[in-house]
Amino acid sequence: MKTIIGLEVHVQLSTATKLFCSCSTDYQNDEPNTHCCPICLGLPGALPRLNRKAVEHGLKVAKALKMNVLEESEFARKNYFYPDLPKGYQITQYDRPLAVAGTVEIEDDEGHEKIVRITRIHLEEDPGRLIHVAGGSSYSLVDYNRSGIPLLEIVTEPDLRSPQEARRFLNRLRSILEYLEVFDGDREGALRVDANISIEGSERVEVKNISSYRGVEKALTFEVTRQKNLLRRGQSVTRETRHFMEARGITTSARSKEEEQDYRYFTEPDLRPLRVAGMVAGIDLPELPTARKERFMAQYGISLNHARTLTGDPRLADFYEEVAYVDPFLAATWVADTLLGELNYRGMRITDFPANRFVELLALIRSGTITETVAVQVLREMLDTCAAGRPCEPPAMIVKREGLVRGESEEFAEIVRDVIAANPQAVADYRAGKKGALNFLVGQVMKETRGRADPRELGRIVAEYIDRGEV
């Protein structure tokens, strides 16, 4: 059963003011309904004024995705009635969008390069936000601070074949948008997704307003399973709109799927057509993720996997370039394989950790002053200090204070003999050919030395002691 997925991605553009008025978009920490005016509230007689910066951001995205910008595009009214839409319609673009026919390159489920086609991008305003009162209340509250926030909707062709591909597409798209500096992925509600999914030969279902990358994968995984189970039982899939219940990991039916005619689109009479195709040539693009990945491999000699990881976020790529001069390969390994995991565990960002302290840690590793085991301990202590809001202590001071300088093998001879003597069963297992027993013994020695010994060297020493029968 072939799965067919297309996405409609709603991206909140990083502008100082809303799409059609001068109200600030920086409302996250403010009281409800304090960033509103007659225009974004849709009061009679209020006329929209188009935000030029939002248009420029849209054109920048179009150029990055290799799209054709229409010589003339226009805004339309999309009519529907909902409490968070004060005008009773949404100003959007319909049959004449900003740009059409682009591409995004991702990896498919087999690890091969795959092109996902972009059907169109268009500008539109965000509605407000409903706040459902807890405790079984029979009413909801409406916050119009978000009403009129500029959105760029990016619509794909149905080229995705699995929930995993959908998540990889979103990660790549987010990376491109962040490199372009038109989008802040850390803002709440900055990216929302409507996913259209079907099993080949069956009706299409739309899952609305998924608010996280992981949520998209979970919602689509549930929906693929649900639809395939229906078909296996000889039942049909109903064309409908469904909502994703993130806490339960399921989709639920909301209503039958609207058709385009239900929205009664017509041209927005208060806004002139856009003729902005000539502006594209003057837009300068930064080095985008794919180009930066290729440069990292050529310039620093790092692996494809490390280059992909390091260039997925522009801030991470910038951090790596700040520390790479110590040793490009060592820096790539420690940033991509160790530092990222430790940051994610603490809910920290790469910008929360000073690059100069990481340079000092890499220098200690490269010089052999500390083992990699000790380096992880020191890194964790530095990150915990940063997470607590205190100045990050130099790693050399931590190493000196805790007595964690790498020791010579001869220092640990007595510890090795004691561990071997205390674990006769592990020694017998090793002599019987069970190699895992050696790892156990080395681990016990590492524990006693607090990681100050090199585990590879310890493995050799422990094996020699046992093989010579000295204990």
Query: What pLDDT, in 10s, does the model give residues 376-394?
Result: 989 999 999 998 889 888 9
Q: What is the pLDDT of residue 243?
A: 87
Q: Which domain holds residue 456?
A: 409-468
Mean pLDDT of 244-254: 84
Q: Are residues 314 and 239 in the same domain?
A: no
- What is the domain count for the chain? 3
Q: Are residues 140 and 266 in the same domain?
A: yes
Q: What is the pLDDT of residue 452?
A: 65
Q: Are residues 137 and 27 in the same domain?
A: yes
Q: Are residues 276 and 318 in the same domain?
A: no
Mean pLDDT of 126-142: 81
Query: How many residues make up the chain in this entry?
Result: 471
Query: At CA 383, angle to CA 447 and CA 455, rounded to 5?
Result: 25
Q: Is the pLDDT of residue 139 over 90?
A: no
Q: Are residues 374 and 432 in the same domain?
A: no
Mean pLDDT of 124-152: 86
What's the CATH code of the domain at 418?
1.10.10.410
Q: What is the pLDDT of residue 363?
A: 94
Q: What is the pLDDT of residues 106-126, one digit of tens each?
A: 988 888 889 999 999 999 999
Q: What is the pLDDT of residue 51?
A: 95
Q: Are residues 295 and 276 in the same domain?
A: no
What lies within 8 Å, CB to CB, of 3 at 6+ separation is 161, 162, 197, 198, 199, 200, 224
Q: What is the pLDDT of residue 457?
A: 66
Q: What is the pLDDT of residues 159-209, one digit of tens each?
A: 999 999 999 999 999 999 999 999 988 777 788 999 999 998 888 899 987
Amino acid (one-letter) located at 133: V
Among 34-38, 46-50, 107-111, the least confident range: 107-111
Q: Are residues 389 and 357 in the same domain?
A: yes
**b/e for 163-200, b at 16 or more Cβ within 10 A?**
bebbbbbbebbbbbbbbbebbeeeeeebbbbbbbbbbe
What lies within 8 Å, CB to CB, of 58 at 6+ separation is 13, 98, 99, 121, 122, 123, 152
Q: Are residues 215 and 315 in the same domain?
A: no
Q: Are residues 27 and 102 in the same domain?
A: yes
| Residue where one domain finishes, among candidates 282, 299, 318 | 282
Q: Are residues 427 and 343 in the same domain?
A: no
Q: Are residues 259 and 380 in the same domain?
A: no
Q: What is the pLDDT of residue 184?
A: 87
Q: Are residues 263 and 389 in the same domain?
A: no
| pLDDT band, very low/low/confident/very high, at 257 (cuts 50, 70, 90) | low
Q: Is the pLDDT of residue 73 over 90?
A: yes
Using a pLDDT cut of 90, give the percent of the chain over it. Answer: 55
First to last CA, the chain: 63
